[in-house]
Structure 1
Amino acid sequence: MTEFSSPSLALGGGNDGPESLASPARISAISASARHPGRFEILVDGSTVATLSLDGIERLGVRLGVAYTESLANRVVVESAALHTFDRALAMLAARPRAARDLERMLVRKGEPAEHVAAAVERLITLGALDDAQYARQFIRAKISGAGLSRRRLQSELWRKGVARDVIDAALTEVLEVDEVDEDAQIAQVAAKKLRTLRSTDPATTRRRLYAFLARRGYDGSAIRRVMDALPAGADSEADTLE
């Protein structure tokens, strides 16, 4: 662990008189955090009072031997809390991509102060770590290929996550055109895949479950009816007829 300390402070400065008891608290060490890489623990008279980034240390003028006044202590507390929120946001993004508004809501829900959340999200956007347009494109591609969601369902899901409508529409247009997604072929493929799981059901149940399945994925009634009409009468598992 990298540590910068003040020997005179650690030893009490060699002064055991009454003056030493009245001396102000001072920053006695700045140590690299073992638990949080890239962060530093601030020690005052040997006790850890906060964890800061190097930028925060420089911005606040935190140095060895500096008197830990009430004013400095208040600023350190605010800086440390803001850094905690920022680091938590980074950890959540590392776990999985998120839209900016969705990340903001999650952080507030977990108890992070709203003002620190707003600052963290703004900083992440500036750094390029949060990009709703990129997130929307990734989300659309994943959900089309994986869950077979319709355009309408994709719009709804992204809107619920806080992505702006114009960003959603632009991402949908780009993905559907670049990837040359045929929406009629897509619903047929989704239906065929579902039919393979309904081989043991009777025809009426198959049709009812298939219709409900496609509706949940956001396909409109006319598109679903076209798929249903393509099924042979009485068929319960004719997936090949849809492909």
Structure 2
Amino acid sequence: MKDGQQDGMLTITAVEQDRKERYRYQLFVNNGQEEPYLTVHEDIMIRFRLLKGREIHTDELKQIIEEDTQHRAYALGLVYLGARQRTHKEIARYLSRKGIDEESSEKAIQRLIQEGFVNDAAFAKQFASERVRNHMKGRLLLQQELRQRGIPKETVQEALKRIDKTEEAEAAIRAACKKWPYIKGEPIDRKRKLATFLLRRGFPGSIVKEAIQAAITQEELAEEWHMLDN
């Protein structure tokens, strides 16, 4: 919207489709400006019947602008969700970067939540499970990563409770066995370095001990098979 808005009525003198954004329309009014006074999404144009000759009071214009901003926030949120599932906080940050005000952003997010597109609890549960299984990370690191994504503390704790401890231990063993052959030094130093590596990946101490022993056992078995082959 352009500056110079006056109290009273405005009359739409022309409506043109925006050449850059297919579903948006430019509204020209009787204020003597050659550039469009306002651009709105076609859904807003239809809802408010913004056609040539339509008179708009400045109070109604404010409502139209708010509705259009909320619609844009909702559309941007849907596009952002197209790549992967997002959290409430991630979408809020994204919309802020796009210049959407906080109130419009929150209304759009609440609509996305109601329609089932945004669900922090489901996100946390799926995120934790996939990170353990595919990225070999433990619950302590997952807690940090989920909090960084804006997931409430209580929701994070609930998601971590659902992590299968056996699956987490298997992930730690896979990570340990993969890392162990590349660690050099005396046995005690190798164990210490591996323990540090696993702790940084968020695995609890009890699982770290189990994983280290599994890595050592695997190496010993490999050496025994090598001796038998020779």
**Which residue is 1:40 aligned to?**
24
Alignment partners' CA distance in 2, 1:105 and 1:194: 36
Q: Structure 1 residues 152 and 24 mapped into 2: Cα distance closer, same or farther (>3 Å)?
A: closer
Question: Percent of aligned pairs with the same residue?
Answer: 24
Residue among 91, 109, 113 paired with 1:103: 91
Alignment partners' CA distance in 2, 1:115 and 1:154: 30
Say whether 1:238 aligns with 2:226: no
For 1:146, what is the secondary structure of its paired residue? Answer: helix
**Which residue is 1:71 aligned to?**
59
**Which residue is 2:137 aligned to?**
149
Instruction: Tell me the TM-score normalized by structure 2.
Output: 0.72
Alignment partners' CA distance in 2, 1:139 and 1:129: 16
For 2:135, what is the secondary structure of its paired residue? Answer: coil
Say whether 1:29 aligns with 2:15: yes
For 2:117, what is the secondary structure of its paired residue? Answer: coil
CA drift of 1:53 comes to 3.4
**Which residue is 2:195 aligned to?**
211
Kept in 2, the 8 Å contact 1:50–1:76? The answer is no
Residue among 202, 211, 216 paired with 2:185: 202
Alignment partners' CA distance in 2, 1:26 and 1:163: 46
For 2:53, what is the secondary structure of its paired residue? Answer: coil
Residue among 125, 147, 162 paired with 1:137: 125
CA drift of 1:218 comes to 1.0
Alignment partners' CA distance in 2, 1:205 and 1:42: 69
Encode CA deviations 1:118-147: one digit per residue, 9 max, x unaligned: 111111111221122332233123211222
Runs of 5+ consecutive residues of structure 1 not aligned to the other structure: 1-22
Alignment partners' CA distance in 2, 1:78 and 1:109: 18
The 4+ residue runs of structure 1 with deviation greater than 6 A are none
Say whether 1:182 aligns with 2:167: yes
CA drift of 1:41 comes to 0.8
CA drift of 1:111 comes to 4.0
Most deviating of 66-75 and 208-217: 66-75
Most deviating of 57-66 and 113-122: 57-66
Q: Structure 1 residues 231 and 63 mapped into 2: Cα distance closer, same or farther (>3 Å)?
A: closer
Most deviating of 182-191 and 47-56: 47-56
For 2:50, what is the secondary structure of its paired residue? Answer: coil
Equivalenced residue count is 209
Amino acid aligned to 1:41: Y
Runs of 5+ consecutive residues of structure 2 not aligned to the other structure: 1-8, 223-230
**Which residue is 1:228 aligned to?**
212
**Which residue is 1:16 aligned to?**
none
Alignment partners' CA distance in 1, 2:56 and 2:210: 74
Instruction: Tell me the TM-score normalized by structure 1.
Output: 0.69
Amino acid aligned to 2:48: L
Q: Structure 1 residues 158 and 59 mapped into 2: Cα distance closer, same or farther (>3 Å)?
A: same
